[in-house]
Structure 1
Amino acid sequence: MNTRELIVLTSLCILSTNAFGAATTIIISDGDDLAGAIASASHGSTIEIHSNDTFVTDLSWSHKYLTIEAAEGYRPTIQGSIIGIKGSNRTGAALTGLNVTGGISVDSTGTTYSTLRLTDLTIGGNAGFGGTGEFRIDVDSRNCQYNGTTIISGTSDFSFGGYFEGNTFADDILMSTLTDARIRNTKFYENDFQGRVISQSIGPDRSLRQYTFDRNWFQRGLELVSGTYSTLEFTATNNLFGRLDSDTLGNETGFELRTGQTQVTVDGEFVNNTIVGFATGIDVTLYESSYSPDKLSLSFVNMLLDNMDDIKNFDIGTIYSSLISDGTFAGTNGNFGGQPILGLNGRLLTGSIGIDRGNNAVASDFDFAGNPRVLDGDLDGIPVIDVGAFEYMVPEPASIWCALAGCLLTMRWLASPNRLRQAK
């Protein structure tokens, strides 16, 4: 019996076992029926693809949890979309190592559930997560490439919880809530946002949105909008906003917060973020005079701002221990102005202002690049955190000696008799 016959026989045996409802592992090879395997697989089963083929099917099912993954060394293509995958509270999917030519559309009405774990996927189309009614969806996405717009949207008790790490989003992310919808404790960690990230609550919605942004790259900025009776809670630490090698940000804002009419609660904290290259760095816009200031808690600490206009409409809130290059609030709360010396990625370079000028009381353990925080960057014997997303890394002594040795050798060569005779 050859290997191919053995695999087919094994698959048939497994599919036979599925008829009795037992969780199994199904092997899919070149030319096999992936759609049929999905339809026949029981709750808890794993479909392992040993092929680089293109499979024409949608990934769609209800009332069961399936794992579909590429075997080591393979990268199959799904010519279709990830749709549906909803039902009872055990419904969901774990998808790994796939190219999906279409998009993601997971939505529902009524009391349904969906749990998605997405790892190392390429999504060709738009990704949409949403619903109406008591639809609860939880998404864990890691190291995925999203090539279309990503939309998270819901109303009437819709509930979304997400963890996004190491993903690349080539287009905008839109997150909106209406009428008691909730985006719960959603965390964004080390993602590359190439489009703009926008979160908004619409109308008198009584919604809740909770975000954590840590070590992300917002190439075109972050915009948070709160409607009437809504609650917005967020922290943003060690993020980079903008691109120093581009002039396409001239009409945009790095971070923008806009509130609705009345009874809006905002609790936000920005710590050690770099915002550079925008028309406006930070813009906090409140709705006329009907807003109650005691419902806004907003602080900016250890920030690095270098934009055409660093701060706009910033009448309330607190900013301290920050480098604001245009001089706004300089001399107040430890803030200072001046032009930083930055590398192309926003990193502080040797001799720049901002090194050892932050506040250690809110220091994190690591910076945007994963390097340790709170170093003695100015070599005065006192470790102090830097402003911005990056901690300045003092060159190793060996590097300094190599640089000095190179200078000395160059000077000796320039002053050598042979060199002087050649110059005559």
Structure 2
Amino acid sequence: MLFPIRRTHAALLSLFGVAMFALSGREASAQNTIHVPADQATIQGAINVANNGDTVLVAPGTYSENINFNGKAITVTSSGGASVTIIDGRTNGPVVTFDTGETSAAVLNGFTVQNGSATIFPNYDGGGLLINSASPTITNNIIQNNNACGSGAGIAVEGGSPRIQGNTIKNNGESGCTGGQGGGIYLSGANSTQVIGNVIENNQVAGDGGGIALFSASAPTISNNIISGNTATGSFPACQGGGIYSVNDSNPLILQNLIYNNTAAQGGGVCFHVVAGAHGPVLVNNTIIGGPGSTLGSAVYGAEFDNQVQLFNNIMTGPSGQNAVYCDTVPPIFSNNDAYSPSGTAFGGMCSDQGGQNGNFSADPMFVNAAVNDFHLQSTSPAIDAGSNAAPNLTQTDFAGNPRILDGNNDCVSTVDLGIYEFAPTPNANAFFSTNALTFPNQVIGTSSNGQQVTLANTGTTCFQFLSIGTSGDFSQTNSCSSAGVPGGSSCVFNVTFTPTALGPRSGTLAVTGSDTITTKTLNVSLSGTGVDFSISEKPSAASVKPGNSVQFIVTITPIRAAVNSTVALSCSGLPTGASCSFSPSSVIPGSNGANSVLTLFTGSNTPKGKFNVRITGTSGATSHTTNIQLTVN
């Protein structure tokens, strides 16, 4: 039976036009929505008539079929979500196949994919989804209860770079056979596959890699997944990689995953074998909780040429009495990791010396409640601010979507925490200045005032981290603060000085901008003062004296613009031989009305006769002014 096609662009067609359209195929330039079962009875039927850019929209229900995208760049999506829209493979081959070079524009979204069974091609891989040399987008599906006697009971990727995101992949495995890999996902030749934000749980394989297996998988990204309850039960030489198994030329980035309660004899959480010349995995900010039954490396097991493998900022724990991390040859590069096993060994084998080096340590990470799988950090956890900000591929947010790289221990330095969660204390940097204004006395231009102090206090519980400190105008500051900021519950002092560069009122601001890593604010103190100056004059301007006698002058210091409240020191120079001078007083404070000093010039019996210009200088700080007196010795 031929079904009409419903177009979402709402064009009205005649009955003749509909019939001709159905017979001749749809226009390639239009993008249409094909409804299942309203327009086509089956999903595969809708795919068959779809053109690139079309959407196949599937109503809730159970569809017993096995579908193939046939290379088309189309979106196949459910209208009601995965829980009510089921594609059942009836153990009649892979449920969904991508094997004709599909690109990321081929999208499977919002289905339960179940009861698939891998066939002889290729190698009995891919029970739920088989992706062979293709790069589709797989999102928001439940992939469950599928079987494969080869590898990838849930999903098998045999080349290509698909994006597998936001799916639940559970209860997939082997039935009636042994020796496969990847109960949940199998990646081989997988270029730059992305496995992001999935729940991969309770899958099993009678081989290696209960959750995910990688075999010569190039450089995939595995990030922000929950990988739990998966089991590898192989027996030769031992089952490996309950959560993740990476072997041969596989160089994955394993970033910020929660891997817990997976089971394998070696590497219950993660196991990697690295061939010579490959750099192998990079593990960053994972929380890996070893499961029961691991004889070596209940959290992490490394084998062969591991010296280029890198582990940064991970928490790796083993059950009581078991080994947490084990290396059977040269150790990987460990930096800022916590490996811990109560009553057991933290680092074992060839990496037994890694504790205490390069920021690695062994201590209870102090989860909030590991018994109920709450792996957030308590406020006293040693994993807080214990990571390396130089680790590669650090994310801006943690596993819960909260900001990454905070100051979690109130030391005013933002440092990444270990594991998947960043401890986020309630932002509470209650910072303030003790006053909002400082007024300085009149200051002679070019001279610096005594300092005035203002206190910056933080009565909150988190650090007020400095982003910038500055003054404007003719003002400068020094401070007793840490260069990083003011921790909660403490204070520091700013010392501000005024150095006017011109006469008259001068203004400026002390501004401190800081953050508690969540909220940024700027604190200001208004600064003001007046720049003043003085002049110096003498009376009389000239006088005569005989050798051996003295003569007096009145020297006057007069304020300019406003009162001068600083001291002006007086001195003379240019005296003839045998002559000297004295001022009474030797310095004055001009104030508002000016001030006088009596200058006495003394000549000696050997003072030569003649006319001499004696210079009188008034000095305040770095500012000085002069006047001249003509002295005649006759």
Q: Name the counterpart of 1:341.
A: 366
Q: Name the counterpart of 1:414.
A: none
In the alignment, structure 1 segments of 5+ residues that lack a partner are: 202-206, 287-292, 320-328, 402-424
Report SS of the residue matched to 2:218: strand
Q: Name the counterpart of 2:233.
A: none
Q: Choose from 101, 107, 112 the match for 2:114.
A: 101
Whether the 8 Å CA contact 1:341–1:348 is kept in 2: the answer is yes
CA distance in 2, matches of 1:5, 1:90: 28
Whether the 8 Å CA contact 2:154–2:169 is kept in 1: the answer is yes
CA distance in 1, matches of 2:100, 2:358: 53
Whether the 8 Å CA contact 2:163–2:195 is kept in 1: the answer is yes
Report SS of the residue matched to 1:213: strand
CA distance in 2, matches of 1:361, 1:36: 49
Q: Name the counterpart of 1:274.
A: 315
Letter of the structure 2 residue corresponding to residue 301 of structure 1: S
Distance 1:18 1:138, change over 3 A: farther
Q: Name the counterpart of 2:166.
A: 143
Distance 1:86 1:388, change over 3 A: closer
CA positional deviation for 1:6: 8.6
CA positional deviation for 1:280: 2.1
TM-score calculated relative to the size of structure 2: 0.48
Q: Name the counterpart of 1:254.
A: 299
Report SS of the residue matched to 1:37: helix
Map 1:342-361; keep pairs closer than 5 Å. Answer: 342-344=367-369, 345-361=374-390
Map 1:284-295; keep pairs closer than 5 Å. Answer: 284-286=327-329
Q: Name the counterpart of 1:417.
A: none
Distance 1:87 1:359, change over 3 A: closer
CA positional deviation for 1:97: 1.2
CA distance in 2, matches of 1:388, 1:159: 27
Q: Name the counterpart of 2:249.
A: 208
Q: Which moved more, 1:61-70 or 1:85-94?
A: 85-94
CA positional deviation for 1:176: 4.5
Greater C-alpha Rg:
2
Q: Name the counterpart of 1:18.
A: 25
Map 1:78-97; keep pairs closer than 5 Å. Answer: 78-80=87-89, 81-88=94-101, 93-97=106-110
Greater helix proportion: 1
CA positional deviation for 1:228: 5.2
Map 1:293-308; keep pairs closer than 5 Å. Answer: 298-308=332-342
Deviations 1:147-177, CA, capped at 9 Å, x for gaps: 21224265xxx45431011111122234243
Report SS of the residue matched to 2:45: helix
Distance 1:78 1:396, change over 3 A: same
Q: Which moved more, 1:356-365 or 1:45-54?
A: 356-365
Report SS of the residue matched to 1:242: strand
Distance 1:389 1:161, change over 3 A: closer
Q: Name the counterpart of 2:213.
A: 175
CA distance in 2, matches of 1:197, 1:374: 27
- Report whether the alignment pairs 1:54 with 2:94: no
Q: Name the counterpart of 1:326.
A: none
Q: Name the counterpart of 2:154.
A: 127
CA positional deviation for 1:192: 0.8
CA distance in 2, matches of 1:391, 1:163: 23
CA distance in 1, matches of 2:424, 2:289: 22
Letter of the structure 1 residue corresponding to residue 326 of structure 2: D
Whether the 8 Å CA contact 1:299–1:317 is kept in 2: the answer is no
Letter of the structure 1 residue corresponding to residue 376 of structure 2: R
Q: Choose from 17, 22, 35 the match for 1:28.
A: 35
Report percent identity of matched pairs: 16
Whether the 8 Å CA contact 2:334–2:358 is kept in 1: the answer is no
RMSD: 4.0
Q: Name the counterpart of 2:285.
A: 238
CA distance in 1, matches of 2:24, 2:79: 22
CA positional deviation for 1:92: 7.9
Whether the 8 Å CA contact 2:313–2:388 is kept in 1: the answer is no
In the alignment, structure 2 segments of 5+ residues that lack a partner are: 8-14, 124-131, 147-152, 173-182, 204-209, 231-241, 263-267, 431-458, 461-634
Larger relative contact order, structure 1 or 2 (CA cutoff 8 Å, min sep 6): 1
Q: Name the counterpart of 2:576.
A: none
Distance 1:230 1:175, change over 3 A: farther
Q: Which moved more, 1:46-55 or 1:89-98?
A: 89-98
Q: Choose from 224, 235, 243 the match for 1:190.
A: 224
Q: Name the counterpart of 1:311.
A: 346
Whether the 8 Å CA contact 1:166–1:191 is kept in 2: the answer is yes
Q: Which moved more, 1:212-221 or 1:6-15?
A: 6-15
CA distance in 1, matches of 2:5, 2:50: 22
Whether the 8 Å CA contact 1:86–1:108 is kept in 2: the answer is no
Q: Name the counterpart of 1:377.
A: 408
CA positional deviation for 1:95: 0.7
Q: Choose from 421, 426, 430 the match for 1:395.
A: 426
Query: How many equivalent residue pairs?
Result: 355
CA distance in 1, matches of 2:25, 2:95: 23
Q: Choose from 212, 225, 245 the match for 1:199.
A: 245
